[in-house]
Amino acid sequence: MTKHLFLFAALLCLAGCQPPASIKSDPPSNAEDPFLWLEDVEGEAAIDWVKERNQRSLAVIESHPKFAPLYENNKAIYNSQDRIPYVTQMNGYLYNFWRDETHVRGIYRRTTMASYKQAEPEWETVLDVDALAEADGENWVYKGMSCRYPAYDRCLVNLSRGGADATVVKEFDLNQQAFVEDGFYLPESKSALAWVDMDTLMVGTDFGPDSLTDSGYPKITKLWQRGTNLAAAKTVFTGEQADVGVYPAVLHDGDESYRFIIQADTFYTRNWFVLNAQDQPQLLALPKDIGFSGLINGQAIFELKSDWQPKDHPFTQGSLLAIDFSDFLAGDQNFTLLMEPDDKTSISAVTTTQSKVLINTLQDVSSVIYQKSYQAGQWQSQRLDLPQFGSMSVSGSSDQNDEVFINYSNFLTPSTLYHYNAQTGDSEAIKSLPAWFDAADLTVEQYFMTADDGVQVPYYVVKRKDLVLDGNNPTLLYGYGGFEVSMRPNYSATVGTNWLQDGGVYVVANIRGGGEYGPDWHQAALKENRHVAFNDFIGVAEDLIARNITSPAHLGIYGGSNGGLLVGAVFTMRPDLFNAVICAVPLLDMKRYNQLLAGASWMGEYGNPDIPEEWAYIKTYSPYHNLQADQQYPKVFFTTSTRDDRVHPGHARKMAARMEAMGHAYYYYENIEGGHGGASNNNQSAYLRALMYSYLWLQLGGDQ
């Protein structure tokens, strides 16, 4: 359990640029949309449509000679006992959630540190989700639990039906390993909760009419006492209807605890309130886009998303600041600069232990970790001696000690988990993945594409060392380009076995819209500048072709969620560049995205299509509206999930239906469950990956 708060972050033109040449006319109005009926998620007609398209597409893809062996290979990977069991720390135990072929829905289990360091730890099962699902007659998908600090004796377990974001919340006794009879319980909703003490919760949920925002998240926070009616609980904060959501949080620093209300008015801006002894919210004097990274030894840590000058000292965008929190609450603005990244560096994550702060940075998209400690009124700093030129993540930290786990990998190096003692500086590699594919003949190269505005955009290419640059190599280009999410070099057993080992080339593009170079890299592609991300992606594709690594006939692209919007926009803008497109759980109808499920929460990223001035730029890339009957498109593979309650499956359904009406061929697969990840268990994940890579080999050629 860490002390840092959850940061609200779950897709080359400048303002006023001309629309792409492929756009010939304004899109139809909503009244002219003949496929609105496909937005009826579980409507009989819509489900019949889905089943027919599934059957038609799967008959082709599953018949590809690679599908069956890939599916078996992927099941072996996803269910392997050799996977690293990543853990969280709570009160002397290490906890892990585990799925395999025996535990399809999964088990929540625990062990000790000494046992965990052994090759075969001794695990004690705490909660068996398969057994629970059978007993309850529900298709439960485990979505995590929140346990009471510092005793970690009671937990709030989140259970989803079929993988949706909305969950049922049940109170669980961690010591007795049983659900609490007549304990805290919330019916299915996108709830937000925090423990105050054994008998008190801060809770936001669906309280009834006018209790949810337009985005479908809580608008109201209440203090709920054990044994009382939730409807009668004391309201401590009410947000606005247009807010993304209102979220409670309790932050601990030793024996001190603070109750927060986070009013997210957009995806990237929020008001921070702390509740006083009378349960009244006090607004913190902070920029609305600041990140609150944690409390440690009385010091509050903040990350700037834009330049800021509190008092008379200016700080630059991307900097990490600290201040005595008690003094800050009293009005002090004397912040200390902890880190100021340069133009090649960004802060990707901040983690606190009992007495240390670990700052995970990206330097030209490779991880470097620094450690800070606050002693005798001064901050001390050091760089951790860990492997370079890869991706690292810090996990399993605790408020009760200085021990953490650091995972390292790169495209060709299987994940290695280090146990690191931040107090002593000692580290040891304790677990690692097996090599799922032979990387001896592979190499990784980083290239930089020069965008039209002169910006250097990096991308990684993973390929055979003896690759012949003749333009005939099947190549998969992956990207995301949104929400300040960084695409880092990570080991993927399925990419290796499904693609690389048979001669495929794998490319990851670090385009603008992501967070690879800090907040400015992200903000460069917001709203009216969205074409920056799309043009960066197109530029990387063109660069691959110019280097003769591949050609349009052998180039495929893949993106999910916001990345689904990315590839959807790009294939409608430049269909000549690609012969395969995997468009997964995508946003595609950008006229209605803000009216579907959680879509309204993303208007800070894309803009509001209900405002004419903003629709004027959104419509220039909305994939659903830029399809043309007289254009030739690659045979796109759309994937989505009926149970995705974050990005509406209607996006993929309607896009496919419109292509079909125009006479364009496509493939379609909608999992009837699975949530936003597209799959709710390991076998479903293995199946989906087998479909994707079989499709790629079908479209892009190579060894059949």
The one catalytic residue in 561, 622, 685, 694 is: 561
Q: How many residues appear in the chain?
A: 704
Q: Using an 8 Å Cβ cutoff, are 69 and 77 in contact?
A: no
Active site residue 415: no
Burial of 98 (0-12, 13-18, 19+ CB in 10 A): middle
What are the φ and ψ backbone dihedral angles of 98, each rounded to 5 degrees?
A: -135, 135
Provide CB contacts within 8 A for 12, sequence distance 6+: 451, 452, 453, 531, 532, 535, 536, 539
Q: Using an 8 Å Cβ cutoff, are 351 and 357 in contact?
A: yes
CB burial readout 41-69, b (16+ within 10 A) else e: beeeebeebbeebbeebbeebeebebbee
Q: What angle do CA 259, 264, 269 make, to 5 degrees?
A: 115
Q: Using an 8 Å Cβ cutoff, are 341 and 514 in contact?
A: no
User: How far, CA to CA in Å, does 411 sit from each of 257, 390, 490, 550?
Assistant: 41, 8, 5, 20
Distance CA(152)–CA(501), nearest Å, equals 45
Number of Cβ within a 10 Å radius of residue 113: 17
The one catalytic residue in 64, 103, 522, 676 is: 676
Contacts 24+ apart (CB under 8 A), 181-184: 182/227, 183/154, 183/226, 184/156, 184/224, 184/226
User: How far, CA to CA in Å, does 116 sit from each of 93, 418, 421, 424, 704?
Assistant: 10, 12, 15, 20, 43
Active site residue 522: no
- Between the two ends of the chain, the Cα-to-Cα distance in Å is 48
Distance CA(483)–CA(406), nearest Å, equals 24
Active site residues: 561, 676
